[in-house]
Amino acid sequence: MKTPAPVLRRPDAEEFPAFWALLSAVFGEAPHDEDREREATVFEPERSLVAMDGDDIVATAGIFSRVLTVPGALLPVAGVTLVGVAPTHRRRGLLRSMITQQLTELHESAAEPVAALWASESVIYQRFGYGSAAPRARATGLTRDTAFRPEVPTAAGRLRLVPAAAARPHLAHIYDALRPARPGLLDRPQVWADYRYADPEHHRDGATALQYVVHTDDGGVVDGVAAYRVKADDGDYGPDGVVTVLDVLAADVAVEAALWRHVFDLDLVRKWRRWSNPLDSVLAHLLLDPRAMRQEVVDSLWVRLVDVDRALAARRYRTDIDVVLEVSDQLCPWNAGRWRLSGGPDGAVCAATTDAAEIRLSSTELGAVYLGGPTLVGLAAAGRVQAESAAVLDRAAVAFGWPVAPYCPEVF
């Protein structure tokens, strides 16, 4: 007898422990009550899905309601998250069913025009029209090599170590001031700030709790904050500690340099690292030795245009653009076809057209270039984008670009 297919439905809030238990098993992680309680604070059951096989949850998916900085604008985004399929139910199409239902519901409700996620496996979500839109760098180095260039400005004011409770309001204020300028950053209301700076001991890997240092100007106003932790170690030739930097947020370059100098000059620390650094980090230009910071570029935020017309009209463009795009999109057929995009630095419109296509690409490539990072020219060189002429491609690539590299430091 044929086994009935699992049924998709909304979970109840009370089912979150079972929801989380499945995800912990899928990702091979030991479940901790503290982690489950933290995740429950941001869980949105009304935007989540479970696949039920009888009484058992065998697959999960969720959405977080966030606001994403895109070039020139702030845009509601569906943060796709909590996706997992039980190992007993792999290769049955459950992931595709959940992703398809999410995108269809977003389209039919005219909710967020864009979805975004972090991918546990970078190949999977390209199949569903997501493009790698905001690469990040894993940055590492030796503290002894971090001398700054003589031109680096010096900030007036002072540094103070403060407890988390004193640092958090300043982190929020400075982050909110910086957020509109950099594509890829997410809004951070209190519940998400609590989520980011939660500091359970089992996540520290033997290091200290998060340490906070603030910079105040001559008037006593806090204009910069850094958050980091230190793991002590003794090497064969003396202290061999490691400082791991979570955040360096500053009102200007001089203050940022002062915060980095504090981190690099910590006693008993030989190595430094930052798990997520912007590709255009000013730190690279502060260092006298260009080899003092080694960077490994990896993916972070993946972007998917739910509705091509609404999404392309929502952002700004670096230069004037007037181009006909032909989009292929198997999962969201309402996006497939030709779209005329016209606009520039002050706004844009996008509408269906029967005019001849000038650039052809899939929803995956469109997601990749949406935040102004990867370029149409680069994707075309790899055969992923086709254009009627090099001139058309170049003009569109410049318009889609942005002066600030996209960056998303927080996993969700």
Going from the C-alpha of 160 to that of each of 167, 214, 232, the distances in angstroms are 10, 5, 22
pLDDT at 270: 97
In a domain, 382, yes or no: yes
Q: What single letter denotes the amino acid at residue 341?
A: L
CA distance 84 to 86: 7
**221 shares a domain with 152:** yes
CATH number of residue 336's parent domain: 3.30.1050.10
Q: What is the DSSP letter of 27?
A: T
Shared domain for 312 and 280, answered yes or no, is: no
Residues 287 and 320 placed together within one structural domain of the fold: no
Is the domain of 171 the same as that of 271? yes
356 DSSP assignment: P
Tens-place pLDDT, residues 386-407: 999 999 999 999 999 999 999 9
Asked if residue 132 belongs to a domain, the reply is no
Find the farthest-apart pair of alpha carbons in the chain and give their distance in angstroms, rounded: 78
- Number of alpha helices (DSSP H) and beta strands (DSSP E) in the chain: 11, 19
pLDDT band at residue 237 using 50, 70 and 90 as cut-offs: confident
Q: Are residues 207 and 162 in the same domain?
A: yes
- Average pLDDT of span 289-304: 98
CA angle 259, 263, 268 (to 5 degrees): 155
* Residue, of 266 and 1, whose pLDDT is higher: 266
| 382 token code pair | 């790899």
Question: Cα–chain-centroid distance for residue 268?
Answer: 32
Q: What is the pLDDT of residues 192-211, one digit of tens each?
A: 999 999 999 999 999 999 99
Asked if 344 and 378 count as a contact pair (C-beta separation under 8 A), the reply is: no
DSSP, residue by residue, 41-109:
TT--GGG-EEEEETTEEEEEEEEEEEEEEETTEEEEEEEEEEEEE-GGGTTSSHHHHHHHHHHHHHHHT
The verdict on 171 and 276 lying in the same domain is yes
* Residue 405 belongs to some domain of the structure: no
Output Rg (C-alpha) for the chain, integer angstroms. 23
Give the span between the Cα atoms of 376 and 339, in whole angstroms.
Answer: 16
Q: Does 136 map to a domain? A: no
Tell whether 282 and 314 lie within a shared domain: no
Together in a domain, 323 and 277: no
Containing structural domain, residue 272:
147-291
pLDDT at 238: 77
User: Which of these three, 112, 129, 157, is where a domain ends?
Assistant: 112
Amino acid (1-letter code) at residue 24: S
d(CA 320, CA 308): 19
52/188 same-domain check = no
| 351 and 389 co-located in one domain | yes
Going from the C-alpha of 271 to that of each of 53, 140, 228, 246, 298, the distances in angstroms are 49, 7, 13, 15, 21
Residue 140 counted as domain residue: no
273 domain-assigned:
yes
Whichever domain contains 14, its CATH number is: 3.40.630.30
Residue after which a domain boundary falls, among 53, 88, 112 = 112
241 domain-assigned: yes
Q: What is the pLDDT of residue 4?
A: 75
Q: Give residue 1's pLDDT.
A: 53
Structural domain total, the chain: 3
Do 77 and 152 sit in the same domain of this protein?
A: no
Give the predicted TM-score (pTM) of the model.
0.96
Q: Which residues are catalytic?
A: 125, 412
- What is the spatial distance between Cα 17 and Cα 29, in angstroms, rounded to a whole number? 14
Final residue belonging to a domain, choices 112, 138, 165: 112
Q: 326-377: per-residue pLDDT in tens?
A: 999 999 999 999 999 999 999 999 999 999 999 999 999 999 999 999 999 9
Q: Residue 297 falls within a domain, yes or no?
A: no
Tell me, yes or no, whether 329 and 277 share the same domain: no
Over residues 60-65, the mean pLDDT reads: 99
Encoded tokens for 76:
């509601």
